[in-house]
């Protein structure tokens, strides 16, 4: 039971309740200049692509760009997600582009009428209670809406500390990079959490300004309860656990074994030590056997001990 692949399996099971759904909406705002248009298109394409490893279904990842990134289409997409998702599910909104702040309200610059911070808050408040929400706003002035949006069920990440940081941001590039990087996965469980992706992107932004010998014009922020509960990307074997039916069934067995262990631990104080360990031993043997079955299935899929596919 010391295999790294079983660690990945356990990490995946702890990351989301069995049956939980993750839906992702990625929006590329107006660039205004060719260089920014190209960057925003590229970064949002990367985020949407890597988000498939979490959503497990292309229908649960939507990317709006160009003329599709209009206020009415963003509104419709969020409302549709709010209608579908239930308590225990996750919704992730990623905004990449330019923002503005007039001292009262934030605006995300898109074709046609901009969408405002108040608009975003109302839309996000429309979700059923118990739907966890992650808002990643990688635009300039994005810090202006952090305090307004963050809450017990909602984590907010912003590229800037306030509405006063108005320069084009770099955070979106490194957020996109984090979702596909093993370096972002600190605990090496195959899951990149929102906290891990934030730490990676924030570090990369700081390093980029130092490398350019430039004064930093953005300082990222994160607010809300337990950002580590959001898995924003899965790497290697962890992605397979989300998308392979046999591995998904093994994950369900893992849930049952973990429940048995938790039940035993709750009784530990009331049991003689020998009795407790005698009861625990067969459960741990079941866990070890499960690990062997997981390893066997991963071997069938051509995945090595490092969690990546073998070259064929």
C-alpha span between 184 and 180 (Å, rounded): 8
34-62 in b/e form (b: 16+ CB < 10 A) is eebbebbbebbebbbbbbbbbbbeeebbb
Residue 187: the pLDDT is: 87
Residue 312: the pLDDT is: 41
Both tokens of residue 197? Answer: 């992706």
Both tokens of residue 30? Answer: 């107006």
Q: How many CB atoms lie within 10 A of CB 194?
A: 25
C-alpha span between 306 and 95 (Å, rounded): 33
Residue 194 binned pLDDT confidence (cut-offs 50, 70, 90): very high
Say whether pLDDT at 92 is over 90. Answer: yes
Residue 13: the pLDDT is: 45
Residue 60 binned pLDDT confidence (cut-offs 50, 70, 90): very high
* Overall pTM > 0.85: no
- Which 8-state DSSP code applies to residue 152? T
**Residue 136, strand partner residues:** 94, 157
Residue 15 binned pLDDT confidence (cut-offs 50, 70, 90): very low
Both tokens of residue 75? Answer: 């509104």
User: Which residues, other chains included, contact 13 with Cβ-Cβ below 8 Å and sequence gap of 6+?
Assistant: 251, 254, 255, 258
Specify the DSSP element, H or E, that contains 63: strand 61-64
Residue 1: the pLDDT is: 36
Whose tokens are 């998904």? That residue is 248
φ, ψ at 244 (rounded to 5°): -100, 125
Say whether pLDDT at 4 is over 60. Answer: no
Q: pLDDT tens, 235-259?
A: 876 665 656 678 778 877 887 888 8
Helix axes 171-178, 194-211, angle to 10 degrees: 130
| Least confident range of 2-11, 241-250, 264-273, 296-305 | 2-11
In the CATH hierarchy, which fold is given to the domain comprising 15-239? Answer: Rossmann fold (3.40.50)
C-alpha span between 238 and 228 (Å, rounded): 16
Q: Are strands 115-116 and 106-108 parallel, antiparallel or unpaired?
A: antiparallel
Residue 251: the pLDDT is: 73
Q: How many CB atoms lie within 10 A of CB 267?
A: 11
Q: Where are the domains of the chain?
A: 15-239, 244-300
Both tokens of residue 102? Answer: 């007039």
Whose tokens are 């206020």? That residue is 71
Q: How many CB atoms lie within 10 A of CB 296?
A: 11
φ, ψ at 134 (rounded to 5°): -125, 125
- Which 8-state DSSP code applies to residue 223? E
Start-to-end CA span in the chain (Å): 27
% of the chain exceeding 70 in pLDDT: 88
Q: Are strands 22-28 and 61-64 parallel, antiparallel or unpaired?
A: parallel
Residue 299: the pLDDT is: 79
108-123 mean pLDDT = 97
Average of per-residue pLDDT values in the chain: 88
């Amino acid at each position: 039971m010391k295999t790294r692949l079983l660690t990945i399996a356990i990490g995946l099971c702890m990351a989301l309740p069995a049956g939980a759904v993750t839906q992702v909406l990625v929006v590329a705002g107006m660039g205004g200049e060719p260089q920014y248009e190209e960057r925003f298109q590229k970064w949002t394409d990367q985020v949407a692509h890597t988000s498939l490893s979490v959503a497990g279904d292309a229908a649960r990842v939507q990317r709006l760009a160009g003329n599709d990134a209009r206020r009415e289409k963003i509104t419709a997409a969020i409302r549709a997600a709010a209608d579908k998702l239930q308590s225990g599910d996750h919704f992730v909104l990623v905004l990449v582009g330019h923002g503005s702040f007039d001292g009262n309200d934030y605006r995300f610059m898109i074709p046609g009428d901009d969408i405002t911070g108040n608009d975003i808050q109302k839309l996000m408040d429309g979700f059923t209670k118990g739907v966890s929400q992650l808002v990643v706003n990688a635009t300039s002035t994005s810090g202006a809406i952090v305090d307004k949006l963050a809450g017990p069920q909602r984590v907010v990440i912003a590229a800037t500390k306030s509405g006063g940081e108005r320069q084009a941001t770099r955070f979106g590039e490194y957020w996109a990079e984090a979702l596909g990087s093993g370096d972002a996965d600190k605990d090496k469980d195959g899951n990149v959490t929102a906290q891990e992706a934030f730490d990676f992107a924030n570090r990369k932004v700081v390093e980029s300004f130092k490398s350019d010998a430039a004064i930093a014009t953005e300082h990222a922020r994160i607010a809300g309860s337990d950002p580590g509960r959001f898995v924003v990307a899965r790497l290697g074997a962890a992605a397979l656990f989300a998308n392979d039916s046999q591995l998904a069934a093994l994950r369900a067995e893992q849930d049952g074994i973990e429940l048995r262990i938790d039940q035993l631990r709750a009784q530990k104080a009331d049991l003689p030590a020998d009795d407790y360990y005698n009861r625990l031993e067969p459960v741990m043997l079941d866990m070890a056997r499960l690990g062997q079955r997981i390893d066997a299935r991963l071997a069938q899929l051509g995945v090595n001990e490092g969690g990546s596919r073998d070259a064929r």
